[in-house]
Amino acid sequence: MNRDKMIERFLRYVAIDSMADDTATGCPSTKKQWDMARLLEKELNELGMQQVKTDEFGFVTAVLSANTDKKGPVVGFMAHYDTIPGFSGTDIKPRIIENYNGGDIYLGDASGLTTEVSRFPALKKYKGCDLIVTDGTTVLGADDKAGIAEIMAACEYFIENPEIPHCEIRVAFTPDEEIGTGIGHFDVAGWGCDFAYTIDGGEEGGLAYETFNAAKVAIKVTGVSVHPGWAKNTMINAVKVFGLILSMLPEAECPEHTEGYEGFYHLSQVQGSVELVTANMILRDHDRDKLEHKKAVVLAIADFINTKYGQKLVEMTITDQYQNMYEVLKDKQEIVDAAKTVMQKLGMTPVVEPVRGGTDGAQITFKGCPTPNLFTGGLNAHGPHELAVIQSMEKAAWVIIELGKHFAQ
């Protein structure tokens, strides 16, 4: 596996702004995601992959036929090419730190930010490794362009070493994963995989087959705006009413106070004035019954406030987003066990943890393609402290290669 070419690809991919837009309609949600899709289609063709195509929704797929007579499964590898909305993906300036010394990382004068070990203690494990960091003004895009580069490197390895047996491999590079709206447009049956792996995790060794159950809440608070000098017994300040909603949410059940299997309520966006406040909240829990309880809580808060004011000031619209893929994968443990086996073969200790979020795999698992999630070697996603560990990226590519070989037997 050519490590240098993998890193060259990764740096080329992160230079392309492919940020998603959670306020837009259509798929992809931004025209600039097409720049990434077209590049990936071109590179897959140049690599020698078969049946390369990009569909009307921006899904890029390709096939690497099996090179053995043994009847094996068709295995998919998937990664998304969009980046998180709200954090700039424009003019990314990655920097490689060779032989990282284990200390704090000053990102640069453009931002003045420092990635501190005290705040990001996982860095301690990577002393002596080579890191790719940002200048502190953008995300890096390791989530999930690292996964794309790793899949590309694995496919290139098999193409350049035709004597090494591998199963049929199908790849998919997807838009709008970060806003959860892309994968619903994907032709899972047409992709034709018996099962797949998303290459969309974090630290080295990560293996996940549990996700949250997820719902989003659209909140609307309608107030009455009048001149504050004549407001007595007339004004209803929507901002203050919204503050009451926040005060009634369980304080300990927010992302910054939860971990592991603990769910949360997360206010992700708010805007407004005296007359109107709109907000978005997400609800997450690995336990379906606990998610249903969270939905009941927010609806009860709305009912309480509307009763208190004697009119309908608060509207809550709840939409389910995805389910915990464990409900399917608990009966498909041979897929998970295969990933554990190859990691151990490569000298890694698998770290099996629930995903505290979602992946494209969560949705396609329920569409007939069981899909656990594997690590990429990226850390601190969704912000300017995002980085990638080159040695971990290399190991992620080898995991893909070994899985291709494993399922050829």
The pLDDT value given to residue 359: 84
Pairwise CA distance, residues 372 & 235, whole Å: 52
Supply the pTM of this predicted model: 0.89
Which fold, 213-322? Answer: Alpha-Beta Plaits (3.30.70)
Torsion angle in degrees (nearest 10) through CA of 287, 288, 289, 293: 100
**Domain definitions of the chain by residue range:** 3-211+324-406, 213-322
Tokens of 228: 């504050």
Tokens of 327: 């409900």
Quick one: residue 347, left, alpha or beta (phi over 0 = left, psi -120 to 50 = alpha)? left
Pairwise CA distance, residues 316 & 220, whole Å: 7
Pairwise CA distance, residues 182 & 225, whole Å: 39
Closest Cα partner for 167 from 82, 78, 75?
75
Burial class (CB in 10 A: 0-12, 13-18, 19+), 23: exposed
The pLDDT value given to residue 356: 86
- Reading the chain (409 residues) residue by residue, the pLDDT tens digits are 899 999 999 999 999 999 999 889 899 999 999 999 999 999 999 999 999 999 999 999 999 999 998 888 999 999 999 999 988 888 999 999 999 999 999 999 999 999 999 999 999 999 999 999 999 999 999 999 999 999 999 999 999 999 999 999 999 999 999 988 899 999 999 999 999 999 998 999 999 999 999 999 999 999 999 999 999 999 999 999 999 999 999 999 999 999 989 999 999 889 999 999 999 999 999 999 999 999 999 999 999 999 999 999 999 999 998 889 999 999 999 999 999 999 999 999 999 988 887 789 989 999 999 999 999 999 999 999 999 999 999 999 999 999 999 999 8
- Asked if the domains at 3-211+324-406 and 213-322 fall in one CATH topology, the answer is no
Tokens of 278: 């709109």
- The tens digit of pLDDT for each residue in 316-371 reads 999 998 889 999 999 999 999 999 999 999 999 999 988 887 789 989 999 999 99
Which fold, 3-211+324-406? Answer: Aminopeptidase (3.40.630)
Would you name the residues annotated as active-site residues? Answer: 82, 177
The pLDDT value given to residue 210: 93
CA distances (Å), origin 233, targets 1, 62, 276, 309: 73, 65, 18, 12
